[in-house]
Structure 1
């Protein structure tokens, strides 16, 4: 099994991800409920009440590369 680095900036909660991509706080949850197949396998998961999403997942659903990497 591959080691997962939970300190990676490519793993974030849904609210943080939405804010980074300039979307409203509920964007990721709403998008997932309507289009779960748009997320690449393993790019989103719910832990208890918290949704966790990867940069790959956000790029897939928004069509926008990570805004933090535009420098």
Structure 2
């Protein structure tokens, strides 16, 4: 079984990701609903009501690199 490091900065809540990329707080949920093809398989997951996304998913959906790496 693969272990996932939940402290990895590549994982973040949808709201946190939207803030980092300078988007509206509802950006991720709206993007997943309107353009799910922009999100690579495994780049997001819903845990109860908490949506968790990866940097890879955000970069793919927004077309912008991680702003924290500038």
TM-score under structure 1 length normalisation: 0.94
TM-superposed CA distance for 1:3, in Å, is: 2.1
Cα RMSD, aligned residues only: 0.8
- Number of residue pairs matched? 70
| C-alpha displacement of 1:42 | 0.2
CA distance in 2, matches of 1:49, 1:61: 21
Matches of 1:47 and 1:3, distance apart in 2 = 17
Tell me how far apart the structure 1 counterparts of residues 35 and 41 of structure 2 sit (CA, whole Å). 13
Uncovered stretches (5+) of structure 1, i.e. residues with no partner:
none
Show the 5 A alignment for 1:1-71: 1-70=1-70
Shift of 1:4: 1.0
Normalising to structure 2: TM-score of the pair? 0.95
Report runs of 4+ in structure 1 exceeding 6 Å deviation: none
